[in-house]
Structure 1
Amino acid sequence: MSYATLIRQIEVGEGLGFVDARALGAALLDGGVPELETAAFLVAFNQHDPGLDAWLGLHAALAERLPDFAAPSGPFRTVVLPTYHGVRAHPHLTPLLALLLKRFGIPVLIHGVFEGGGGTAAAYVLRELGIMPCSTTAQVNAHLQEEGIAFAPVALLSPGLAALLALRARLGVDGWVTRLAMLADVLGEHSVRVTPVASGAEIAPTREVLEALGGHALLLQGCEGEAFADPLQRPEMVLMQDGQWQPMYGAQTTASVLENLPEMDARATGAWTAQVMRDHLSLPLPIRNQLAVCLYAAGYTEDLNQARAITAINGFGLGVRALSLRERVGERGA
């Protein structure tokens, strides 16, 4: 494999075929490409989309190197939340979305980086909430099964991917490596991948890749590229199930005015998140909407309208009562 030839091929806009991209992805993830050429690939991919076949090849290379995470047994799909950016202008609400889903009995796997690139990382807020990163695959599986939530750092998913992300930070480019991490199918069929993109320009190519991969995925322009909806202005949300796309919510045309959001630092966000969960405070509308889509996608309800009804009051109200009813039925049957 000639790295120089592949780099030139990408730079002139020819893209890569599946076989070449898979082989290149394997070499990059296994640390088999010299650092100078690796940096050149990062820059080239950041400037030129390599095409659908290339994305599928890179995804295949990563999939072959992922650990054996196992979705918990049960009636609901596990929701997978990637976190690879950090936020600077908003409080980080990925942990809130995760805890809301857990409250409804939906297992949640969060995977991502420890640092926020100068902003607030989800890992910081998770730590404030007592959710620590797992260190082994067995620990991830045990936490999912027993606690309903787990945080897997990217180095546990793939040391090679973690190394590429570290080089990304050194180079100051944030392109295909992050997108590849967001697309990682870490749990397979019995899961729903929340797949955020950082800009509207990424929606169409990401949608094309997800459609080719199949499975279940929620695609949205995430808040600063993270997996939660902007709490001030809901983005468009579309859901893919078995290769078929369904529009869930349109984008808000005007921003909301919210007074109860916390400060952006991790400690304040963690304390506010804990209070929201404890006191059932009202949620920002975009977060309630995203929660409803995730409940439907995970199989908690038969359609989106039921999920909307459950979350209509404040994100908890009807859902908490429904969950309590299920618990009482279970107790009577025990």
Structure 2
Amino acid sequence: MSSPLPNLTQAVARVARGREHAEDLSLEEAQSLFALWLADEIPEITAGALWAAYRIKGESVDELRGFVSASEAGLKTLTLDSPYRPIVFPSYNGARRGANLLPLLALILARCGLPVLVHGPAESTAENVVALRDHDPSGRVHSAQIFAAFGLPIASDGDQASAHLRRWGLCYLPIGQLHPGIDRMLRIRQQLGLRSSVHTVVKLINPFLIPAVHCAGVTHPPYLERLQAFFTATARSALCLRATEGEPFANPKRRPDLYACAAGNRFLQIPKEVAPLSRIPALPEDHSASATCRFMAQVLAGHTPLPAPLADQAACLLSLGGRCADLESARTLLFQTLSHNTA
């Protein structure tokens, strides 16, 4: 692939001048640069410099668009015939202070009739990680582990993922099966100890040949605005929220702002809770996969209520995915689905 960049040295010089003086690359330059990066065609020292530079500078919307375009050009796309937009959950952090309830949210949406794909690290990768200064993954429970423990479908490749989605409406797919280049870049973090642009890119890619609804959770507030700007500029559908320990599900104790993006517009779909908590919702006794699975079974059986913030998030996604016309009908469908499971 020919690059519009004058050369990599100049690219590094432009983006690595610190937060105040760094320059943004154009969309075309960013796309070309990231394509080389994904193909492992950038010298290690240059890649390391770019990794650190973007950690400091941050990405512009055009740079993100270029990075995502380069990534999606190399994706092993999934086929899906559905009247509704599939929901895409990027799940890469895991949780250790509380239970990871993303698999529960995904399963409930699938039972309501929406196709749901969760992608992230392979289960073996999630279990064998080393401590890093910027984000210690030790003791975290990842979605892949909960999928395996609960008996939910995990695909070994894209074809199997498509088959699982057709049969079950739900699937977990390791990122290495979607894009080996992204998987390789994510593993570099184990050497450098820092997040990079690729950790944002995985929240933005669409593995499907049809439009999807992205559910993007962020840890740092500035990225909430940046991701909304990206989805607006690309006219993609998305739900953006403050993540729970980096995972894209609403804090079960207090709902964050839920921002929707659709057809080039963005709006606050449901505002955050500001009133004092009247009571703490029922939650798993600990954050382990086994305790989380027991809680999931209780919610699905109707013995334990789904925490209200997760119900609100599910209603937003049912609306954005086209399964329901509005939030009111989405809440009715949720109630009927969980009540039916009780019968």
TM-score by length of 1: 0.89
The structure 2 residue matched to 1:98, chosen from 106, 115, 119, is 106
1:245-256 pair list within 5 angstroms: 245-254=266-275, 256=277
1:15-30 pair list within 5 angstroms: 15-30=24-39
Q: Partners of 1:95 and 1:207 in 2: how far apart?
A: 24
Match of 2:97 in 1: 89
Structure 2 residue 283 is matched with structure 1 residue 268: no
Counterpart AA for 1:47:
I
Cα shift at 1:309: 3.9
1:150-229 pair list within 5 angstroms: 150-229=171-250
Match of 1:50 in 2: 59
Q: Partners of 2:91 and 2:34 in 1: how far apart?
A: 21
User: Which stretch shows the higher mean deviation, 199-208 or 301-310?
Assistant: 301-310
Q: Partners of 1:131 and 1:310 in 2: how far apart?
A: 22
Q: Partners of 1:222 and 1:125 in 2: how far apart?
A: 18
Cα shift at 1:81: 0.9
CA contact (8 A) 1:128 1:271 kept: no
Match of 1:4 in 2: 9
User: Which stretch shows the higher mean deviation, 144-153 or 241-250?
Assistant: 241-250
Cα shift at 1:321: 6.3
Q: Partners of 2:259 and 2:34 in 1: how far apart?
A: 28
CA contact (8 A) 1:42 1:177 kept: no
Cα shift at 1:268: 1.3
Q: Partners of 1:233 and 1:199 in 2: how far apart?
A: 17
Q: Partners of 1:110 and 1:255 in 2: how far apart?
A: 33
Cα shift at 1:39: 1.9
CA contact (8 A) 1:15 1:49 kept: no
Q: Deviations over 1:242-301 (max 9, x none)?
A: 112232111122564435211111121122212221335201111010011111111121
Match of 1:329 in 2: none
Cα shift at 1:15: 1.4
Cα shift at 1:180: 0.5
Unaligned segments of structure 1, at least 5 residues: 312-316, 325-334
User: Which stretch shows the higher mean deviation, 20-29 or 250-259?
Assistant: 250-259
Counterpart AA for 2:311:
R
Q: Partners of 1:138 and 1:124 in 2: how far apart?
A: 21
Match of 2:131 in 1: none
Counterpart AA for 1:21:
A
Cα shift at 1:105: 1.5
Q: Partners of 2:68 and 2:336 in 1: how far apart?
A: 39
Q: Give the % identical residues.
A: 28
User: Which stretch shows the higher mean deviation, 81-90 or 33-42?
Assistant: 33-42
Counterpart AA for 1:121:
H
Q: Partners of 2:191 and 2:300 in 1: how far apart?
A: 37
CA contact (8 A) 1:39 1:167 kept: no
Counterpart AA for 1:274:
A
In the comparison of the two structures, how many residue pairs are matched?
A: 318
CA contact (8 A) 2:282 2:304 kept: no
Structure 2 residue 108 is matched with structure 1 residue 112: no
Cα shift at 1:190: 3.6
Cα shift at 1:136: 1.5
Q: Partners of 2:339 and 2:205 in 1: how far apart?
A: 35
Unaligned segments of structure 2, at least 5 residues: 128-136
Cα shift at 1:187: 1.8
Q: Please, what is the CA RMSD of the aligned residues?
A: 2.0
The structure 1 residue matched to 2:327, chosen from 301, 304, 307, is 304
Q: Partners of 1:308 and 1:275 in 2: how far apart?
A: 19
1:255–1:64 CA distance, 2 compared to 1 (3 A): farther
CA contact (8 A) 2:153 2:170 kept: no
Structure 2 residue 49 is matched with structure 1 residue 40: yes
TM-score by length of 2: 0.87
Q: Partners of 1:50 and 1:222 in 2: how far apart?
A: 19
1:221–1:169 CA distance, 2 compared to 1 (3 A): farther
